[in-house]
Structure 1
Amino acid sequence: MDRCELVHENFLRRVAARDLPPGREPEGPLSPTLAVSLYRSGCLSRALDRQSRAMQRAGQGFYTIGSSGHEGLAAVAAALRPTDIAFLHYRDAAFQIARAGQVPGQTMTRDMLLSFASSVEDPISGGRHKVLGSRPLMIPPQTSTIASHLPKAVGAAYSIGAARRHRPEHAILPDDAIAYCSFGDASANHSTAQGAFNAAQWTSYQSVPLPLLFCCEDNGIGISTKTPTGWIAATFANRPGLKYFACDGLDIYDTYATALEAAEYVRSRKKPAFLHVRTIRLYGHAGADMPTTYLPREEVEAEEANDPLLHSVRLLDRAGALTPEQALAIYTETGARVARVAAEAVTRPRLRTAPEVMASIIPPHRDCRPTNGPGAQAREQAFGSDLKAMDEPQIMSRLINWALTDLMLAHPEIVMMGEDVGRKGGVYGVTQKLTARFGPDRMIDTLLDEQSILGLAIGMAQNGFVPMPEIQFLAYVHNAEDQIRGEAATLSFFSNGQFTNPMVIRIAGLGYQKGFGGHFHNDNSLAVLRDIPGVILAVPSNGADAAMMLRECVRLAREEQRVVVFVEPIALYPMRDLLADKDGGWMRRYPDPSQTIRLGEVGIDGQGADLAIVTFGNGCYLSHQARPALEAAGIRTRIIDTRWLSPLPKEALTAAVAGCGHILVVDETRHTGGVAEGLMAHFHEAAPGIPLARLTAEDSFIATGPAYAATMPSKEQIIAAAIALTGGAK
């Protein structure tokens, strides 16, 4: 008999014999009716765990990480409101079940079994994953809660106070809500978790409202690695700005009373708190994991003897709320009901095709209030003397600044955040004057932590804001790439489009910076961003395009609820000249606020039929430098600016090269894993027979000093590659 069945048989035997574990007397504000309801939630959670294993053995279920031992979290749910957004630990079925009791019309037994069966009728993920989550219960789904959800919980908590000051059109959290986030004791050690705790403390220390309740479910072990005894209390009991509460999760009376106190502290003080809940883990980590292979049998059996449901039976009996016989009847009836519902759930349809699986990668359209752009008076007040400068060509960084200003005037739900974006105006001055124009509420200077920056954006986006977080350099995104991949981009997918976190992530990046930094400031790899399903990646090559593309990026986030990454080529920020000193050939006038470049629209410069140079970013600039020499060699050239790198605008690219005799892809990213790989594959498939070549950067990091551009394409290399491909003058 496996451990699951042993625990089940022990419960039946011990309750029947009134052989219940010792413990404290029931105390606190928990009423008899609510206490019985919490016990029912625990019984349902336990029955679902047992049924999931039976379904897996029968090939009818596919993921069996369970909540047994954590049933006391039902009491935490009861202490909160169903409008308090909850980012849950994967062992929190009892929490979700108890919360369902607070919202009429819920069918939690069937809902969870449909999730176990990966049925398309699963109301949260549509059969894409066995996850906890519910839109009516304000529980966004978490697919792997090893701390990655903590930064966005900080962001969601921050958004509640921000929404009181500037309420977005699509806000979903009440003004008096709190954010709740639960995790295991092992996860508390993860760098992502530590960053979130620090961000919460850093915010609280400055008396900024942050109604956030962290909940550590301490079962003393992470898969097979023990948490040192007393470690969680020792490290969290005395942190500045983070109030500590502790309770025994085996005692629903103690847990409810303590959770009530913690929730009231967070709600009334608008400050974060840490709720430390003692739990146990039954059955091992997940699935076929056998705890007796890495723990002494005596230790495993001692934990099983401390079953929280046995404690609940004792407490309910002592409180006069329920006799052991009644408790046993509830337990057995619940198990029988779950088995009956499961027999029907496993017959429901499942996902079969790629389009069905992928249907929720792209979020649904969202109706937004119409906007006609900023009014003349508002623009005059915001821009001041800059309005006159708009009549003259300007560098890219200044045009981006003006575009951001117009966008923030038009859309009050836009909030920017990042290191140094506010008072300093960014490393390159791109966001200068924006704090003076819009205030620190909308231009948030964050602490130095990319995970916290993106987490803040994700959490605020879930409450109706349109965040525009800035990552200071492209290389820095690797410190937090899972916040994009594992959190932002997957939310619509795993919630079947019910939860979204639209945003525009601005990143200063790519190479060709002269004499500044090395591979950390000159990073020419976009592979990690192009690899994420559903994420839109945009790279402008000049200031006018940057302004118009930014407007489209904000539209995509605001109306289409997309996650967009906008990479701004640092070397082109100050670029003035193209072919000769002081020719001003790369500066542009600021386009009217009504002008945009739509997703998938490529740039075409020239009508040459001999050669199409397909490129983007700095490659576009270098190709324009090379074109006079190519024309002099008799090679009639057109330059195609891809602009949108993910998804590639394939139809537009195919149309753009039509009638050209040769295609040269110029790619400033690396030879391996670079953008050229996708472009070459596309043209090979869509334009067979047309001679193709690519010029890319080397598979190398970038050096500091005079060799800053040695590993990347140059004007001279473009000329040589084009002549080699076409054979020169005709």
Structure 2
Amino acid sequence: MTLETTQTPDAAASVPQSLPFSRALNAGLRRAMTENDRVLLMGEDIGRLGGVFRVTEGLQAEFGERRVLDTPLAESAIVGTAIGLAMSGFRPVCEIQFDGFVFPAFDQITSQLAKLTYRHEGALQMPVVIRIPYGGHIGAVEHHQESPEAYFAHTPGLRVVSPSTPNDAYWMIQDAIASSDPVIFLEPKAKYWMKGEVNASARAVPLHASRIVRRGTDVTVVAHGAMVAVALQAAALAEAEGTSMEVVDLRSLSPVDYGPILDSVRRTGRMVYAQEAPGMVSLGGEIAATVMERAFYALEAPVLRVSGFDTPFPPAKLEGVYLPDADRILEAVDRALAY
């Protein structure tokens, strides 16, 4: 699998460039490594190969094998080593090859990485970034298309973010690396080939800010990762039928920036949350509950959720049935408007 080779943005450039999502991540990693020699990359096949999705392509040749490390096939060892490196003053960035492969490192992430700073009353920082390609739409099988974000958002001590555009990918990976806390960096793999404008001279919004990406008046649709593009597609279809959808990109899954969401809901009176993950005990359920608590009197209908089904991820030929599409979002919007 190869990705289009595109010029990466110059940190001093003032003219935005069009880059695929994967190359924007590559450029963000390169800039962070250039500006701080304590930043290290670790993962399976990330060096000479450049990673399964070629996100780290060319970085080992540029920065050397001591800063871009090809690791054994052992996720627990990758994260455990990163914890030790962070204790020694480094800023390791770990790549988990696919979402379903993170679970061998789950103990290190949730039992150690998430708790060490708290255990030391803030005296010990854990600036570790764990990059996880996640989500569907690539025609793969289970362990390669899942959305495990709820496990990590549920764990105190972890920051969890997911960019949906190349520009956010470029800036958010740098902000995550600069964070003194551990960051789970969820990359929607379906968007690796999506091109978009990257402005290397101006940061868009802070790491943990949600953002309204389309204005509307009738209903608010909130989504994260690859589902943001699906929500925007649904909004365009709804507009043709006379319905005005406002779309909010969550961006940060923990902590959640509720300000733009609540402001939007108070204007529209209705909300739908869209996610690829199963609906049971999910991020969408938490956000729906919080919005109903904090904006109850502004709501003209219950907050509705669109999600994957509460089953293991199906064979590739059934992913189109399992994953929410624009039609399922529009069906939920119609139900919200019917109240």
Using the size of structure 2 for normalisation, the TM-score is 0.92
Q: Which residue of 2 aligns with 1:627?
A: 235
1:615 has 2:234 as partner: no
Identity %: 29
Any unmatched runs of 5+ in structure 2?
Answer: none
User: 2 CA distance for matches of 1:667 and 1:686?
Assistant: 21
Structure 1 residue 588: Cα displacement: 1.2
**1:217-246 deviations in whole A, cap 9, x for unaligned?**
xxxxxxxxxxxxxxxxxxxxxxxxxxxxxx
* 8 Å Cα contact 1:549-1:597 kept in structure 2: no
Aligned counterparts of 1:424 and 1:660: Cα–Cα separation in 2: 48
Residue number in structure 2 paired with 1:407:
32
Assess if the C-alpha contact under 8 Å between 1:513 and 1:708 holds in 2: no
CA contact (8 A) 1:419 1:445 kept: yes
Per-residue CA distance 1:5-54 (angstroms, 9 max, x = gap): xxxxxxxxxxxxxxxxxxxxxxxxxxxxxxxxxxxxxxxxxxxxxxxxxx
Match of 2:249 among 641, 666, 675: 641
Residue 638 of structure 1: CA displacement?
1.1
Distance in 2 (CA, whole Å) between partners of 1:551 and 1:594 is 13
The residue that corresponds to 1:708 in the other structure is 319
Residue 564 of structure 1: how far off its partner (Å): 0.5
Cα deviation for residue 693 of structure 1 reads 1.0
* 1:511–1:709 Cα contact (<8 Å) kept: no
Which residue of structure 2 lines up, in the alignment, with residue 675 of structure 1?
283
Amino acid at match of 1:623: A
1:570 aligns with 2:189: yes
Aligned-pair Cα RMSD in Å? 2.0
- Tell me: CA distance 1:392–1:491, structure 2 relative to 1, closer, same or farther (3 Å): closer
Tell me if the contact between 2:222 and 2:274 (Cα under 8 Å) persists in the aligned partners: yes
AA paired with 1:598?
P
Partners in 1 of 2:210 and 2:166 — Cα distance? 15
Q: Following TM superposition, by how much is the alpha carbon of 1:544 offset from its aligned partner in structure 2, in angstroms?
A: 1.0
Matched, 1:496 2:121: yes
User: What is the rounded CA distance, in whole Å, between the counterparts of 1:697 and 1:538 in structure 2?
Assistant: 20
**Residue identity matched to 2:270:** H
Shift of 1:719: 1.4
Residue type of the alignment partner of 2:153: R
Whether the aligned pair in 2 keeps the contact of 1:600 and 1:652 (CA below 8 Å) is no
The worse-fitting range, judged by mean Cα deviation, of 653-662 and 676-685 is: 653-662
Please tell me the residue identity of whatever aligns with 2:173.
L
How far off its partner does 1:596 sit? Answer: 4.9
> Structure 1 residues 568 and 706 mapped into 2: Cα distance closer, same or farther (>3 Å)?
same
The residue aligned with 2:102 is 477
Q: How does 1:266-665 map to 2 (within 5 A)?
A: 386-387=8-9, 392-514=17-139, 516=140, 518-556=141-179, 561-575=180-194, 587-665=195-273
Paired residues of 2:21 and 2:191 also in contact (CA < 8 A): yes
Residues 414 and 696 of structure 1, relative CA distance in 2, 3 Å threshold:
same
- Residue 269 of structure 2 is aligned to residue 693 of structure 1: no
Please identify which structure carries the higher strand content. 2
Letter matched to residue 308 of structure 2: A
CA–CA distance in 2 between the matches of 1:401 and 1:525? 23
Match of 1:727 in 2: 338
**Deviation of the 1:622 alpha carbon:** 0.5
User: Could you list the runs of 5+ residues in structure 1 that have no partner in the other structure?
Assistant: 1-382, 576-586
CA contact (8 A) 1:504 1:553 kept: yes
Secondary structure of the residue that 1:659 maps to in structure 2? Answer: helix
Contact 1:403 1:547 in 2 (8 A): yes
Aligned-residue offset at 1:387: 4.9
Paired residues of 2:210 and 2:258 also in contact (CA < 8 A) = no
Distance 2:156 2:193 in 1: 33
C-alpha distance in 1 between matches for 2:228 and 2:165: 9
In the superposition, relative to structure 1, how do residues 666 and 500 fare at CA in structure 2: closer, same or farther (>3 Å)?
same
Measured in 1, the distance between the counterparts of 2:16 and 2:117 equals 42
Q: 1:441 to 1:594 in 2, by over 3 A?
A: farther
Distance 1:658 1:407 in 2: 39
| Aligned residues of 1:525 and 1:674 also touching (Cα < 8 A) | no
Post-superposition offset of 1:456: 1.1
Contact 1:549-1:596 at 8 Å conserved across structures: no
Letter of the 2:168 partner, please give it: D
Structure with bigger RCO (C-alpha 8 Å, 6+ apart) = 2
The one-letter amino acid paired with 2:268 is C
Post-superposition Cα deviations, 1:418-452, rounded to whole Å, max 9, x if no partner, equal 10111100001111011111111110000000000
Give the letter for the 1:532 counterpart. Answer: T
Higher Cα Rg: structure 1 or 2? 1
Structure-2 change in CA distance of 1:594 and 1:428 (3 Å): same
Contact 1:552–1:597 (CA<8 Å) still a contact in 2?
A: no
CA contact (8 A) 2:8 2:24 kept: no
Q: Distance in 2 between matches of 1:387 and 1:482?
A: 37
Q: Distance in 2 between matches of 1:641 and 1:436?
A: 35
Q: CA deviation at 1:727?
A: 3.2
User: 1:54-83 CA distances to partner (integer Å, 9 max, x unpaired)?
Assistant: xxxxxxxxxxxxxxxxxxxxxxxxxxxxxx
Cα distance in 1 for residues equivalent to 2:260 and 2:208: 7
